[in-house]
Amino acid sequence: MSAMRNVVVSRIQSLAPGIKEFTFVAPPGEELSRFSAGSHIVIHSVLKGKPHHNPYSLLGSPDDPHWRIAVRRQEVSRGGTAYMHEELKEGDTLRVSEPINLFPLVRLGRKYILVAGGIGVTPILSHAREMSRLKMDFEVHYAVRSAEFLVLSDELRALAPGRFYTYFDSEQERPDFKQLFGNQPLGTHIYVCGPSGMIDACLNAGRAAGWPESHLHSEKFLAAEHGEEFTVVAAQSNVTITVASDTSLLDALEEAGLNPPCLCRGGACGQCEAEVVSCDSEFEHRDIFLTDAEKSSRKKIMPCVSRVKGGTLILNI
Amino acid sequence: MSIPFRQETFRDDFTYRNSAEAVRRFPFPFPQDAYMYSVNIEPHVSVDPGSVYEHTFDIDEHYIAECEDRAITLGKTKNRFLALPHMMDAQWDTLELLMTSMARDYPDLFALSRDGAKWHWMNKPLNIDQHFVFGDTRTLPYAPLEYISRQGQGDFILLDQREGNLWVDAGVVTTQADWSLAFDVGMSFNEWHGPVPMAAEIGVFDRALKFLLMLQHGAPVRRLNWTMTINPRLDTSPEHYDQWGPDRASVTPENVGAKVHLRVEVQTLFRLPRSNGVLFGVRCYLASLNDLVTNPAWGQRLHRVLRDLPQPLAEYKGLVRYRQTAVDWLKQFDQSHS
Ligand code: FES
């Protein structure tokens, strides 16, 4: 479902130990689209022969001709961040998705509280930029391990003068969510991004203070569209195909010259429904067409978005 | 390519006509002999050069006349352009999408040059030459959505996404099939589609909504919808039912071929990049039964679809008064069937 494009790395800059900022521009003759606050892109990379798909929030201004992201190298690296830190050079071309937003701004709020932990500051910065542009009432709370990890704080402080608060783990400081949410006007929204423990603490404090779920926002990325490699046998046509980890089952069937019916290619219309003869592994149903009972029956699959976790899938097609 | 634009009207003397070429490319909406609601959404990608699906926004021989008809409707009646204040970014997104698409797809008709926020737009068919500052409403004669809709075919509705739903929060609606922007503005997707019979039960709108919430920038989708209209009238708004409702009683076996029009909407949905809103484009194509039966396969199929259409759908689409007259007339084009 996501549209893909190429970008060129125009600048790589170290922000803090283990954190780098990357700036992307469009290839010559093309233009990058604008994006909305809270958007991310998914970067496709290949490291040691293994494909990786990692989402990163866009932190720059949508009015700039370039896109900016910041990446923290993960200690137990999912290959993607190691690739970004060690392999990628200025001038390289990358395959990325168009911007996707699953952490969007609700424009009808009365006030906004932005909470960032560590590298989770990236979408918070884009929200602060948007709120400042739209002259909304907002404040920013930013927690990091120690002062040297307080990246991008100059931009934040400039956007939220007098309403920018920092917290250092090294000084035993952390935001007091209970107090923070206790005394806000009706119609206030919380946006939080950071380590999962912090997100949970923040959202739970909001719930405890009686805030409706629709006013509590935490960053979400697009669910993986890809997965493990597996084998599919089209029983009627007697064809055996390998479905690579970054190819959908439907694409693989089409590439093999089969023409299964399909329409939406997004798991909604029901056209591509295929009957399962057998499967020796787990299903990953990602459609919104089959009922839960059908999904657990192991008898049906929607090849446009769903797949299996390795092994062999035999379809009656 | 140059399009021979027609001089014609969609009201009063109804001089609207389709050329043979317009009939050939008409988006006939029935893939089967029977019609039922389904999630008939597909990627809005360019297919079949010359078809209505070739370009992001199709421009055809009715372009100038449709823009003139819209100007009349906007001038004569209220509330055909409405926008809640938080939709301003989505309005600019829409203007950008239309201008860039039209200039790219029809370079002999439209031109756009941009120098930062300074834009220069030329619309040759309508003789418009406009310099303006993108993002500054004071530099355009109308609000951005109204400005660009006055130069587009079809209606444009802007949806805001929040609370896991889509909300009808702005639009220009002058070519609608019996629904009212003034009545529906501020409604959620479910409320908006609430009255459609038989569709809610089979879960069509729940699935469509879930799908649309995930709609991504750069990957627009489209679907077809249809109804029927007496006379080639674009503006069939509920507020003016008194003007067009009585037409339904005017259909006779003698005039049915010329008066009854199949009204097909090519609906397109785009995620808007800057606002994260959704543009819902509803482009209306009209063809008389006389037009349609020039294609034997269409005549036969339309006979069967209309004859077998479930009564609740016929009522919802407002066809009950003249359905039998149309079916009786179409029967002559379905000889293979007893
Ligand atoms: S193509 Fe629509 S559900 Fe698979």
Domain boundaries, chain A: 4-101, 111-219, 230-315
CATH code for A230-315? 3.10.20.30
Of A1, A39, A105, the CB nearest to B214: A1
Half-sphere exposure (CA, 13 Å, Cβ side) for B156? Answer: 27
pLDDT grade, residue B187 (50/70/90)?
A: confident
Ligand 1 proximity of A239 Cβ (cutoff 6 Å): no
Of residues B223, B274, B304, B307, which has the active-site annotation? B223
Q: Are A64 and A153 in contact (CB under 8 A)?
A: no
Q: Tell me if chain A has a CB within 8 Å of the CB of B223.
A: no
Compute φ and ψ for A88, nearest 5 degrees. -75, 135
User: In this complex, which of B210, B219, B275 lies closest to A2 when CB atoms are compared?
Assistant: B219
Tallying the residues shown for chain A, one arrives at 317
| DSSP code of residue A99 | P
pLDDT tens digits in sequence order for chain A, 317 residues long: 568 899 999 999 999 999 999 999 999 999 999 999 999 998 988 777 777 778 899 999 988 999 999 999 887 655 678 889 988 999 999 999 999 998 999 999 999 999 999 999 999 999 999 999 999 999 999 999 999 999 999 999 999 999 999 999 999 999 999 999 888 988 999 999 998 889 999 999 999 999 999 999 998 776 667 788 999 999 998 999 999 887 889 989 988 988 888 888 888 888 899 999 999 999 999 988 898 999 999 999 999 999 999 999 999 99
d(CA B103, CA B88) in angstroms, rounded, equals: 23
Does ligand 1 have an atom closer than 6 angstroms to the CB of A1? no
Determine, for residues B162 and A268 on separate chains, whether the beta-carbon distance falls below 8 Å. no
Residue A197 CB-half CA count within 13 A: 4
Give the model confidence (pLDDT) of B140-149 as tens digits. Answer: 999 999 999 9
- Interface predicted TM-score (ipTM): 0.86
Residue with more model confidence, B97 or A220: B97
**CA distance to A90, A155, B248, per residue, from A16 (Å):** 19, 15, 73
User: B301 an active-site residue?
Assistant: no
Q: Which residues of B touch A214 (CB under 8 A)?
A: 162-163
Q: Measured between CB atoms, does A211 come within 8 Å of chain B?
A: no
Q: How far is CA B21 from CA A35, A126, B4, B300, in A?
A: 39, 49, 11, 20
Q: Which numeric CATH code is attached to A4-101?
A: 2.40.30.10
Segment B90-96 shows an average pLDDT of 98
User: Is residue B34 over pLDDT 60?
Assistant: yes
Q: How do beta strands A312-315 and A230-234 pair?
A: parallel
User: Is residue A270 in contact with ligand 1, taking CB distance under 6 Å?
Assistant: yes
Task: State the fold for domain A111-219.
Answer: Rossmann fold (3.40.50)
Q: What CA–CA distance (Å, rounded) separates B170 from A158?
A: 33
Q: Which residue has the tokens 């409320």?
A: B191
- CB contact B42 to A (< 8 Å): yes
Mean pLDDT, chain B, rounded, equals 92
Determine contact: A284 vs chain B, CB below 8 A.
Answer: no
Instruction: Tell me whether strands A19-25 and A4-16 are parallel, antiparallel or unpaired.
Output: antiparallel
Q: Say yes or no: CB of residue A7 within 6 Å of ligand 1.
A: no
